[in-house]
Chains A and B, each alone.
Chain A
């Protein structure tokens, strides 16, 4: 029997669940598959509707972790096997080597001296990174990661000489005994290249909403200057295409919850940087629930932002200029026209991270990959592993899952 709690996923819902439970007095383990905690929100530039930075809330969460000895976390770690029952689970966790030794040594000079560069997953294909990296802003833990496979021969020699890198660190497998599990595995952007009519992945100036977050972030590949990927030009005319994959039985059979607010927010990013820029948002419905209504009206009041109920039929590229030509049907006016844009942002939907994955836990998952049960086994889904939510609702969900987990392990 164990009164410890396992949280799978170190994004916002997982962090919330773990910290809230630990602050009541329970021992909690976080298992995160990437090298840093923070998850999707760490990639965002600002939150709607306050336009405040996500790193602010994450910093609080990290401080809470630092102060709380009841929280232990593993990065680059994945659950490989689970056995047992509510109150008594044995969980096997596989941990990949970080390749750097605990020390505060600043490895940035060594990192920048390396010759290889690979796609930076954090920047969603918009930038490269070195094989020794700490790409996440305000990274936690604040320790470099060595991507051994990406090192060139010359790099290997350099890294091998550093007292603070460990080329020979082996992967580890550990076993945890826990009484309850919170699955907070979150979401991934839907692969829009499957929406061949929208041009993503084909046309340089058709970017996803998550890519735009990186383009607008001070920590991103353009230091926060929104530029067209094809030529670095400042965009003057920008279109947002809503429901890119969402609300579509052939792709994601649900609404992704955040994209309307996200695009309205991003329209403000563009307008703030380029006072002359014109923005059009093509939507099916504008979903701005509750007090977000105020935000919608603030955006509507901007004369250079047009909100049009309309279906985007197709997207083409003008190869000579890199411009994107969007064919759209205005649902109210009933007319179909082509418009030319410098930049098109696809409001890419969220897909549960578990979609298409084999889960080590025996819990029911719906046809889209959302967890739809497991409570009786002491396994609780939190955040976007359960349904699409925004950050605020995710925090609510994580907090709630923490109490459910406590109820399961209490007194054991």
Chain B
């Protein structure tokens, strides 16, 4: 808690004709001993001002510094003062720059109108109380386990293990098979993995196996599985099921590299798979080639799989109602339902791998026989990026023929050969190709589509929660942050994350290992990982008042909270991303952060000066703005010359998920006429940095609306808006519409009570 706050104004960034000296006096007068220093500097950013603030800190014993000027997003580097709490008040973007008069006109830049003075006064008072209700967070370090658990001993897992070891970490590698090497062991050759990217070559998997086996830092368990993962980053307990029984190992983080399995061949039946002879999958053909068993001289590689796909494979299927699970015997918990995410979609999703594999295997045919012929029939050759060079090299190869084609049918001739009938090829319709063998693509089904694999011993269940969205892949929904999942400390790499070739899997393994190591280091320093990396704060629970309603444990997007038999939440700070969704969920308000809490935001709302008569002083509206996207969008709008109503007061929140209904109640009972909540987009393509925050807020809002209705307050006085960061140009219009609605409605019926 800041008890002696220095308040400093930056004349150079504020301007707007405001009398800052008088503002400083007003603030100083209002807060008295809490703000022993209130000063105006012509330029806050220069050394003179800094030195003076440092002197004030010493002389006055300040424990808080409040800087009033530009947005806290600007010039962050100039204002660090050791040992004191520092906060900023955004008087430039959200004050002077965005201000307009109620009639829409712009003020005289030399003389600030009264409404602008009222606005900045409110913001400064809100800033003072915010700092007053802030405590420096102390961090919550984990147990300090630095060991990395790698799940899967194939190409990706081996790469991860070696790289974690090279970075100085002990590694435990768990492989389900008897031998290391995974699917790469079965490959005759790989598509080229390095410059010049033109010719197939050996995979080199043996070298990777030898490196792991020869590394004293790496312990390998084969014929083993992860039965259970409990605890938190820096302090996980992995229960490994071995042939000889279970073994517990302490680990700090996990790299998930359990790869894939070939798709059920049932989807290939329309191509004659299973009914015609010599119709095989690419995986089967690779095995043949590896064993020197290619006898077919003319082979068709089919990449256009439309024949096997429904018109829209992504259409919602009305699934048959699942059979009722048998009721658990008395005293046993019901087994969690594990969904099988395998579908026909894995065929087109594997298109890029299928394309290069066809090129590679076409080469096998030409290598095996002089005059060998391979026909590649595609819809598009998905050979991306640098691998185009491999495609070019294959095109130049005698015996390899490729065409766009739609497959009409595949039939067996009397001599056992196969006729592939094609339309819409580059040489016309109705083309029949006679071959000895047809090779169909192998769909890549991630291990996580079939089995939870990690077996989280978490309240929210054993599997990753978003698998449905990613077709069973343990992937991220963030383009910019491909390793972020909803389970902190577990990072997926290789084909369990996305279909990929060995070169990409290699890079991916190193990347995931990087994240695992970073998570361990962060947990051990007691700080958060992405996206609030480095944050020392964490949720504190006042269990005395907890009613075991379980909302926090259910709503946490990251499954950070377990609970005991009674339902009391058991926090795991190192799993937590510090979004505050638990704080927003709690009806008893028992959850808080040292520097972000219910009382703090509530107090800020109460600092807003609400004129008793809306007709005279105008309405007041609170905007709770997500600090990740909505807040920067507001800044940007102001910087690009947009203006909004002088009646709104913006309060940044960590995430809309952290918004507690009591804040809305605070605002309403204070006589504030409306509350806007600005947060990220939700739904399948969510942009919420904490996955579910804005969506959860929307649900809670419905409840708030109901409550308001009961109290006789129009529910649409509280509204949530989805705002992307780049929609700053639309934001002022959104505010305008809301304000017009409020003006039309008239004052909050509670005003004045």
From 94 to 112 in chain A, residues with beta carbon under 8 angstroms from any chain B beta carbon are 101-106, 108
* A290, B346: Cα distance in complex, Å: 9
B454-513 residues at the A interface, CB under 8 angstroms: 470-471, 473, 475, 477-483, 498-500, 504, 507-508, 510-511, 513
Q: Is residue B705 contacting chain A, with contact meaning CB distance below 8 A?
A: no
Residue of A nearest to B424 (CB): A332
Q: Is A370 an interface residue (CB 8 A)?
A: yes
> Is B74 within 8 A of A104, CB to CB?
yes
Answer yes or no: B196 CB below 8 A from chain A CBs.
yes
Query: Contact check: which of A58, A104, A285, A402 meets B382 at CB < 8 Å?
Result: A285
Given the interface contacts A57-B479, A104-B44, A217-B726, does A253 sit within 8 Å of B74 by beta carbon? no
CB-CB contacts below 8 Å: B136-182 with A: 163, 166-168
Q: A108 CA to B517 CA in the complex, in Å?
A: 44
Q: Are B45 and A50 in contact (CB under 8 A)?
A: no
B195 to chain A, nearest CB (A): 4
Contact, CB under 8 Å: A60 / B725: no
Is the CB–CB distance between B45 and A56 below 8 Å? no
Tell me the complex Cα distance, A354–B236, Å: 45
* A68 CB-CB contact with B under 8 Å: yes
Nearest-neighbour CB distance to chain A for B273, whole angstroms, equals 21
Contact with B along A11-41 (1 / 0, CB 8 A): 0100000011001110000000000000000
Contact B687 A52 (CB under 8 A): yes
Q: How far is the CA of A317 from the CA of B440 in the complex (A)?
A: 46
Say what secondary structure dominates the interface of chain B: loop
Mask for B517-534, Cβ within 8 A of A = 1, else 0? 110011000000111011
| B470 to A, closest residue via Cβ | A291
Closest to A372 in B: B195
Q: Contact at B46–A332, with CB atoms within 8 Å?
A: no
Q: Separation in Å of the A106 CB from the closest CB of chain B?
A: 6
B10, A104: Cβ atoms closer than 8 Å: yes
Q: Kindly provide the distance from the CB of A110 to the nearest chain B CB, expressed in whole angstroms.
A: 12
Measured in the bound complex, the distance between the Cα atoms of B522 and A247 in whole Å is 44
Given contacts A104-B70, A287-B383, A293-B348, contact A24 B195 (CB under 8 A): no
Chain B positions within 8 Å of A142 at CB level: 73-75
A290-B352, A291-B470 given; A60·B628 CB < 8 A = yes
Determine if A223 and B628 form an interchain contact, defined as CB atoms under 8 angstroms apart: no
Q: Are A138 and B725 in contact, with the CB atoms below 8 A? A: yes
- Contact residues, A285-337 vs B (CB, 8 A): 285-291, 293-294, 297, 301, 309, 331-332, 334
Nearest chain A CB to B394's CB is how many angstroms away?
13
A residues less than 8 Å from B227 (CB atoms): none
CA distance A104 to B483 in the complex (A): 36
B481/A53 in contact, CB under 8 A = no
Are B522 and A23 interface neighbours, CB within 8 A?
yes
Given the known A-B contacts A104-B75, A106-B13, A285-B382, are A57 and B481 also in contact in the complex, defined by CB atoms under 8 Å?
yes
Assess whether B636 is in contact with A138, with CB atoms less than 8 Å apart: yes
A396:B508 contact, CB within 8 angstroms: yes
Q: Which residue of A lies closest to B514 (CB)?
A: A403
Q: Which chain A residue lies CB-closest to B516?
A: A403
Q: Given A23-B522, A106-B97, do A55 and B352 touch, yes or no (CB 8 Å)?
A: no
Report the separation of the CA atoms of residues A361 and B76 in the bound assembly, to the nearest whole angstrom: 33
**How far does the alpha carbon of A54 sit from the alpha carbon of B725 in the complex, in Å?**
9
Q: Quick check: is A399 within 8 A (CB to CB) of the other chain?
A: yes
Taking a contact as CB atoms under 8 Å apart, the answer to whether A332 and B426 are in contact is yes
Q: Tell me whether A121 is interfacial, beta carbon within 8 Å.
A: no
Closest CB of chain B to A55's CB: distance in Å? 5
A218 located at the interface, meaning its Cβ lies under 8 Å from any Cβ of chain B in the complex: yes
Q: Is the CB of A25 within 8 A of B521?
A: yes
Contacts of A219 in B (CB 8 A): 640, 726
Q: How far is the CA of A12 from the CA of B384 in the complex (A)?
A: 20
Complex Cα gap A106–B481 (Å):
33
Give the residues from 244 to 272 in chain B that come closer than 8 angstroms, CB to CB, to chain A.
none
Whether B385 and A255, one on each chain, are in contact in the complex, defined by CB atoms closer than 8 angstroms, is yes
Give every chain B residue within 8 A of A118 (Cβ-Cβ): none
CB distance from A67 to the nearest CB of B (A): 5
On whether the beta carbons of B15 and A106 are closer than 8 Å, the reply is yes
Mask of A380-412 contacts with B, CB within 8 angstroms, 1/0:
000000011101110111011011101100110
Contact (Cβ within 8 A) A407 B166: yes
Q: Is A133 an interface residue (CB 8 A)?
A: no
B690 CB to nearest chain A CB (Å):
12
Contact A291 B349 (CB under 8 A): yes
Inter-chain CA distance A411–B544, complex, in Å, is: 47
- Find chain B residues with CB under 8 A from A272 CB: none
**Which residues of the partner chain B approach A297 to less than 8 Å between Cβ atoms?**
312-314
Residues in A348-382 with C-beta less than 8 Å from chain B: 366, 370, 372-373
Whether the Cβ atoms of A287 and B384 lie closer than 8 Å is: yes
Chain B residue, CB-CB nearest to A365: B195
Q: Is the CB of A53 within 8 A of B195?
A: no
From residue 341 to 388 of chain B, which have CB atoms closer than 8 A to chain A? 345, 348-352, 378-388
Residues A253-267 near B (CB distance < 8 A): 253-257
Q: Which residues of A contact B508 (CB under 8 A)?
A: 396, 400
Chain B residues, CB < 8 A from A254? 385-386, 388-389
Q: Does B714 contact A (CB under 8 A)?
A: no
| Interface residue count on the B side (C-beta < 8 Å) | 101
Bound-complex Cα distance A219 to B473 (A): 35
Question: B522, B639, B724: which contacts A56 (Cβ < 8 A)?
Answer: B724
Contacts of B69 in A (CB 8 A): 104
Instruction: Find residues 45-76 in chain A having any chain B CB closer than 8 Å to their own CB.
Output: 45-47, 50-61, 63-64, 66-68
Best-buried of B345, B384, B641 by chain A (most CB within 10 Å):
B384
Q: Closest residue to A243 on the B side, CB-wise?
A: B388
Query: A18: shortest Cβ distance to chain B, in Å?
Result: 13
Q: In whole angstroms, what is the CA distance A254 to B470 when docked?
A: 29
Please state if A391 and B479 are interface contacts (CB–CB under 8 Å): yes
Contacts A24-B521, A256-B385 given; indicate if A60 touches B348 (C-beta within 8 A). Answer: no
Chain A residue numbers with a CB within 8 Å of B478 are 57
A137 at the interface (CB under 8 A from B): yes
Q: Which of A55, A224, A246, A411 contacts B725 (CB 8 A)?
A: A55
Known: A286-B380, A287-B380. A403 touches B507 (CB 8 A): no
Whether a CB of chain A sits under 8 angstroms from the CB of B728 is yes
Cα–Cα, bound, A134→B88 (Å): 23
Q: B632: which A residues are within 8 A, CB to CB?
A: 55, 59, 138
Nearest CB to that of B314 among chain A residues? A294
- CB contacts under 8 Å to A, within B106-131, are none
Residues of A within 8 A of B380 (CB): 283, 285-288
Interface centre among A24, A253, A309, A372 (most CB of B within 10 A): A24
> Which residues of A sit under 8 angstroms from B382, Cβ to Cβ?
285-289
Taking the closest CB of chain B, its distance from the CB of A330, in whole angstroms, is 11
Which residues on A sit within 8 Å (CB–CB) of B424?
332
Question: A357 to B111, alpha carbons, bound, how many Å?
Answer: 55
**Residue in B69, B392, B482 with the greatest tally of chain A CB atoms within 10 Å:** B482
Q: Which residue of B lies closest to A397 (CB)?
A: B507
A395 pairs with B480, CB closer than 8 A? yes
Partner of A404, one of B15, B386, B510: B510
Q: Is B78 an interface residue (CB 8 A)?
A: yes
Q: Residue B534 contacts which of A52, A67, A288 (CB distance < 8 angstroms)?
A: A67
A-B contacts, 16 listed (Cβ < 8 Å): A55-B725, A55-B726, A56-B687, A57-B480, A60-B530, A104-B13, A106-B97, A223-B729, A246-B388, A247-B388, A287-B381, A293-B345, A297-B312, A393-B504, A399-B482, A403-B517
Nearest 7 CB-CB pairings of A with B: A57-B480, A289-B352, A104-B70, A104-B13, A53-B726, A399-B511, A403-B514
Binding site for B on A (CB under 8 A): 12, 19-20, 23-25, 45-47, 50-61, 63-64, 66-68, 101-106, 108, 137-138, 142-143, 163-164, 217-219, 223-224, 246-247, 249, 253-257, 283, 285-291, 293-294, 297, 301, 309, 331-332, 334, 366, 370, 372-373, 387-389, 391-393, 395-397, 399-400, 402-404, 406-407, 410-411
- Other than A50-B479, A53-B724, A68-B534, give 13 A-B pairs with Cβ distance below 8 A: A51-B685, A52-B479, A54-B480, A56-B629, A66-B77, A253-B388, A255-B386, A256-B385, A288-B351, A290-B351, A293-B351, A332-B426, A403-B163
